[in-house]
Amino acid sequence: MIEIPRHSALIALLLTLPLASRAGEPAKPKSPAPAEAQITRQVSQAIKTAVSHAAKQHRWPPATPEITLRLPSGSHRLVECPSALDIERIDRRRYPAGRLRFAVSCPQPDSWQLTVQADVNVTVPVAFAARTVSKDAVLNAEDITLKATNIATINREFFASPKGYLGQRALRQIRRDQQLSPSHLSPAYLVAAGDKVIIQASNGEFSATMLGIALEGGYGDQQIRVRNTSSGKVIKAAITKPGLVTTLF
């Protein structure tokens, strides 16, 4: 038997190893196939464009989406498309955030089609109640706070700016820490319950004015119950403008 020196055996072993392993460095990751790279690039750009459009439409501050794409198995075998891809969103999300789905296709001559899924995180300010707000209360700056929120978890309308909710009336009680939505609000009453008003009464020939207290809120031309301060009598009167209601004798 021929004995091989130990150092010679070690050299022979090293020669059989991949170059990266010999150098003690990890192997470089495999580059995506040209078609996969094209899909990733163009779908990512479509998402960024959609987020930018949504920000302008809903008055969000500029937001940079975090995008994770999942391509179906077998996409590495596709031929790179010679033209721009056709990309259509096919999910039912209100905003371009959260779990999104896209139908991606290459037109002729090398036609193919697949579905791409994307997890998209978009962080923007979202309005939440800083304290419990009573029904019919008019919102002020102390009632609401804006919190940086990933809207991937939100699929209904929200406010990203105080301009949307300040001075609005709560249609129902809003609990502390509850997300504020346009469905919770309405324009403030022209006359609110408890307001002091002037009651203007007439019969076509004569008119009189008296002081009163509104017992309920309402908008222009709407009839509300009003108590005459002097007599204590409760009547129905139409709102003409803030502080003024009219009725007939």
Q: Tell me, what CATH number does 228's domain have? A: 2.30.30.760
Beta carbons within 10 angstroms of residue 61's beta carbon: 10
Provide the mean pLDDT of the chain: 89
Residue 205: which pLDDT band, with cuts at 50, 70 and 90?
confident
User: Which one of 121, 141, 157 terminates a domain?
Assistant: 121
Residue 180 and residue 109 share a domain = no
pLDDT recorded at residue 98: 97
Look up the pTM and report it.
Answer: 0.74
The pLDDT tens digits of the residues spanning 29-49 come to: 556 678 999 999 999 999 999
pLDDT recorded at residue 21: 42
Reduce the secondary structure of 109-148 to three states and give it as a string.
Answer: CCCEEEEEEEEEECEEEEEEECCCECCCCECCCCCEEEEE
Residue 177 and residue 150 share a domain = yes
How far is 54 from 151, CA to CA, in rounded Å? 12
Q: Does the pLDDT of residue 241 top 60, yes or no?
A: yes
Residue 206: which pLDDT band, with cuts at 50, 70 and 90?
confident
Residue 163 and residue 92 share a domain = no
Q: Does the pLDDT of residue 145 top 50, yes or no?
A: yes
pLDDT recorded at residue 131: 97
| 224 inside domain | yes
Residue 230 and residue 152 share a domain = no
User: Which one of 121, 139, 172 terminates a domain?
Assistant: 121
